[in-house]
Amino acid sequence: MATNAKYWEPRSPRVKVGRPSLKKSPAISPAEKRVRAIETRERERLSAEVESIVVDQLLFQASVKAIKARIGKSMKTDSREEARSLALERMAVEGTSPPVPSMGG
């Protein structure tokens, strides 16, 4: 066999149709369609999961901000016990970590 920079060239009386990997074979088409369908399905699933996580993160941030505002109001009215209770609630909320996307199916 003689070598070429791109591929091996056989020394037999054959006709070359094109270089390798040009998708010359229609036999690969059904498998490729299945792979594309799986990719599309997974892309849509991951997109929905990421959207859900973003919404959860926004709600988490809003709840922390709301608790901070309620603590401030409690402190202004000299309601230290309520402020303390809210501070504990804030610590509990902030102690929970925001959701992380899963890579499994």
**pLDDT by residue for the chain (105 residues), tens digit each?**
455 556 656 565 555 566 666 656 666 778 888 999 999 999 999 999 999 999 988 988 898 888 888 888 888 888 888 888 888 888 887 776 555 666 554
Inter-CA distances, 102 with 17, 37, 86, 90, Å: 45, 21, 32, 26
Domain extent, residue 83, equals 26-95
Does residue 103 form part of some domain?
A: no
| Residues 63/93, Cβ–Cβ less than 8 Å | yes
Beta strands in 6-65, from DSSP E residues, in sequence order = 8-9
Domain count, the chain: 1
Does residue 68 form part of some domain?
A: yes
Does residue 39 form part of some domain?
A: yes
Does residue 12 form part of some domain?
A: no
Does residue 19 form part of some domain?
A: no
* pTM confidence score: 0.50
Does residue 5 form part of some domain?
A: no
Does residue 81 form part of some domain?
A: yes
